[in-house]
Each structure stands twice: as C-alpha cells, then as structure tokens.
C-alpha cells in the first residue's frame, strides 16, 4: 500500500501555528478557553475514549455537525461534515435530536438555531469560536449605510445580500429588506435571483466573494463594483459612484483566504509544472483570476475526488482541510498554495478537550454554551435563509 503521507509537505510552521495546534502556550491568547467546568488537558490520553463513550451514552439525543475546516480530532466525531450551505441544510435534518453540537463557528451555530425547532438546543463547544469576517459588519454600520441609500433615493433599487458568514442580526436586516443569504456554493444563484428583484446589490460582508462572483461568473465589470468602507463617511463613496454602481461591496474579508497572493500562484506554477490551482472564492480577485478552478469547500473536495491519479493540485483554502485531502488522496500530489501555514484560528478553537467537555456536560444533565437568537431577529433572518434554501 502507498505511504499515505508521501506526497504531503507540511508548510513551514510559525510560532502562532504551533499555538493553534495546542503545541505551545500563550496565556495572553487563551481568551475564551475557560469553561464553567473542568476542561480536560489536551495531553489526556483518554480523550478519544471519553468522547466516544459520551457520544454513545447520548445516542440519538445528540447530533454533531462539523465544518470542513475543523481539526481531524473533531471531524472524526461529526455525524455530518459539510460546507456552510450543507450544514445549514443539515441542521434541520434531525428534528428529534435534543442537542445540536456545532463544530464550526458562531455564525453557523446561530443559523442552525434559526433553522431548528425551538425545543432543540444548539451548542458551540467554545464560545470564542467567532469569525473575523462576520465581525467586520456590525448592524449599526449597515443601517447607517442603508439610511444613506434611502436619502439618495436608491434603496428601493437595491437588494441586500449577505454571505452566510455574518451575524444573525445582519441576516435579520437582509430579511426585513427583502434580500437573501448566500454561501460560497450558491452565490451566483443568489445574485442572479437578486438582479431579477432589483438593479443593484448591496453585498455583505465579504468583498471578495461578491466581486469574484459578479465579475467572474456574472459578466459584470470591475467598474460596476464599488467598495463601501464603513469607517468612512458615506462609505468613502460619492453619490455618483453609488448611483452608478451595480454591486456595492462591503469592505470585509476573510483573514485566512486573504493570505494567499498572486505570488503564491506564480511560485507554485514555476515549482510544479502542470499543477492545477484550486482556490476558494473568499480569496482576493487577482488570486482567483490566476487560479484554474474556484469553489466552496464542498466543491474543492469533489474536484479532488474526481481528479485523475498522478495529477498535481495546489489548494488555496484552510490548512486542516487541505492536509486531510492530501492524506485522503495519496495517488495525487496535493499541496498547500502558500509556503507557510494558514489555519482559521477561530475554527481551530474547537478542539478535542472542548468537545469532550461539551459531551460530558450533556451526559451529566447540564447544557453548556447554548447559542440562542432572539425571536424577532430569528424570524427576520429566517426569511433571508429560507429564500436562500428556495433558490432555483
């Protein structure tokens, strides 16, 4: 049998990456690891056995969802793995499960709470597992922008679209203004629908997904897009720029995918002739333009499944997923697009100690870290989420 690690070269480590892997300590960065009970030590040799036993004891009462960026040690306990879209669909798939343990980040758990029955409780094993991109759009800022669009008389032409990677109250804003949520796997469908409802789109909070989809998949020009900076008066845009724009992009980005550069693409093409460059649409526009394939995490997984043996792939997305794909495809050369490691630090906060703690708390009759969206926000956000799930 082939050596499964034979084609994988680990990108260079940085001290930060070692911390994220739990192979170092930095008390100053341990915000959020405190749990109201005893968090097992990462070195506890019984963690796998404890998680297995607790999950078995809970049986069908618990349903564990795992995003593709989660660590291997967590993914092995997921009942379902998926990208943001699949997990949103799957959240409601087990209406009899009392507890949905969401191994992902906060905005995903909020969406799961909105889409599940009121009696089901959604649990995030570490409350510090947020998303820096989602944090870049705050409701007050978005409402200020919208008021300005109303003053200009253009709000009636605009359909707000928010990426799944946004807080529930941003989804609520989009729902009450007749817009739609999208994910990286249905952004083109969401924009197509939106341009049937209005002549402009206000796209939150990922400028790159908005621009890449509009320009590379819908045929818009870069000049049709303007960048709204919430830290500048009127977004830093003139009235004329806003009136002429087709896509008003919020100035937000993913700090993980933003690390890949055009130099990473050039370098790997020189080093590995014939390599296929496959990236996530949260990457910058020049990187996506220079790549051969672009798609969500689910798309990336399927592309590698379908790739012929012997082919070479440089993948621009989160490292936990790329490493797992490399190990799953020893007959293909799968490498990370960048030379240095690139984890999503907040996804990585969900580790085996937090999962064990969560499951054992549930076995003991305590329900930790419940994510609850208030009723009004949930109702409005659900309109935008349901619109997404109903997209043709």
User: Half-sphere exposure of residue 323, counting CA atoms within 13 Å on the CB side?
Assistant: 14
In whole angstroms, give the CA distance from residue 71 to residue 145: 38
In whole angstroms, give the CA distance from residue 316 to residue 322: 8
The item of ligand 13P, ligand SF4, none sharing an interface with residue 178, based on CB under 5 to 8 Å by kind, is none
Residue whose C-beta lies closest to ligand 13P: 83
The item of ligand 13P, ligand SF4, none sharing an interface with residue 351, based on CB under 5 to 8 Å by kind, is none
The item of ligand 13P, ligand SF4, none sharing an interface with residue 296, based on CB under 5 to 8 Å by kind, is ligand 13P
Q: Which residues ranging from 146 to 185 are in contact with ligand 13P (CB under 6 A)?
A: 165, 183-185
* Residue 351 touches ligand 13P, criterion: CB under 6 A: no
Residue 389 makes CB contacts below 8 A (sequence gap 6+) with 88, 89
**241 touches 226 (CB < 8 A):** yes
What binding mask, one character per residue, do residues 313-352 give for ligand SF4 by CB under 6 A, x or -? -----x-------------------------x-xx-----
Integer CA distances (angstroms), 112 to 85, 388, 392, in order: 11, 14, 22
How far the first Cα of the chain sits from its last, in Å, is 44
From candidates 7, 70, 84, 264, binder to ligand 13P by CB under 6 A:
84
The item of ligand 13P, ligand SF4, none sharing an interface with residue 113, based on CB under 5 to 8 Å by kind, is none
Task: Specify the DSSP class assigned to residue 130.
Answer: -
Smaller CB distance to ligand SF4: residue 136 or 237?
136
User: Half-sphere exposure of residue 209, counting CA atoms within 13 Å on the CB side?
Assistant: 32
Smaller CB distance to ligand 13P: residue 85 or 149?
85
Identify the CA nearest to 81 among candidates 98, 92, 69. 69
Identify the CA nearest to 350 among candidates 14, 165, 26, 105. 105
Task: Specify the DSSP class assigned to residue 370.
Answer: B
What binding mask, one character per residue, do residues 281-300 give for ligand 13P by CB under 6 A, x or -? -x-------------xx---
The residues of the shown chain that bind ligand 13P, judged by CB under 6 A, are 83-85, 165, 183-185, 254, 282, 296-297
The residues of the shown chain that bind ligand SF4, judged by CB under 6 A, are 69, 105, 131-133, 165, 254-256, 318, 344, 346-347
């Amino acid at each position: 049998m082939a050596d499964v690690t034979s084609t994988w070269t680990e990108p260079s480590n940085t001290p930060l990456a070692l911390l994220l892997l739990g192979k170092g300590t930095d008390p100053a960065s341990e915000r959020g690891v405190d749990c109201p009970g005893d968090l097992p030590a990462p070195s506890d040799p019984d963690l796998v056995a404890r998680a297995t036993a607790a999950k078995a004891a809970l049986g069908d009462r618990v349903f564990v969802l795992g995003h593709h960026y989660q660590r291997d040690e967590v993914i092995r306990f997921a009942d379902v793995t998926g990208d943001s879209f699949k997990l949103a669909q799957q959240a409601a798939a087990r209406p009899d499960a009392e507890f949905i343990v969401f191994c992902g980040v906060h905005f995903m758990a909020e969406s799961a709470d909105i889409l599940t029955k009121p009696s089901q409780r959604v649990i995030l094993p570490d409350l510090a597992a947020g998303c820096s991109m989602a944090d870049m759009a705050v409701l007050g800022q978005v409402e200020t922008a919208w008021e300005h669009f109303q003053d200009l008389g253009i709000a009636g032409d605009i359909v707000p679209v928010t990426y799944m990677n946004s807080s529930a109250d941003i989804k609520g804003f989009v729902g009450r203004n007749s817009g739609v949520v999208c994910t990286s796997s249905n952004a083109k469908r969401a924009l197509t629908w939106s341009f049937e409802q209005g002549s402009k789109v206000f796209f939150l909070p990922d400028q790159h997904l908005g621009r890449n989809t509009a320009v590379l998949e819908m045929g818009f020009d870069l000049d049709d897009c303007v960048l709204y900076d919430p830290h500048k008066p009127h977004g830093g845009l003139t009235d004329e720029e806003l009136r002429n724009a087709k896509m008003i992009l919020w100035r937000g980005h993913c700090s993980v995918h933003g690390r890949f550069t055009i130099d990473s693409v050039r370098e790997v093409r020189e080093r590995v002739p014939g390599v296929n460059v496959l990236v996530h649409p949260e990457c910058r526009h020049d990187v996506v333009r220079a790549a051969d394939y672009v798609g969500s995490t689910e798309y990336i997984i399927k592309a590698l499944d379908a790739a012929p043996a012997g082919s070479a792939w440089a993948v621009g997305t989160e490292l936990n997923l790329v490493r797992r794909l490399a190990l799953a495809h020893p007959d293909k050369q799968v490498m990370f697009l960048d030379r240095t490691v690139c984890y999503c630090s907040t996804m990585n906060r969900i580790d085996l100690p937090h999962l064990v703690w969560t499951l054992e708390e549930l076995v003991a009759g305590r329900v930790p870290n419940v994510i609850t969206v208030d009723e009004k926000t949930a109702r409005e956000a659900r309109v935008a989420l349901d619109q997404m799930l109903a997209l043709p």
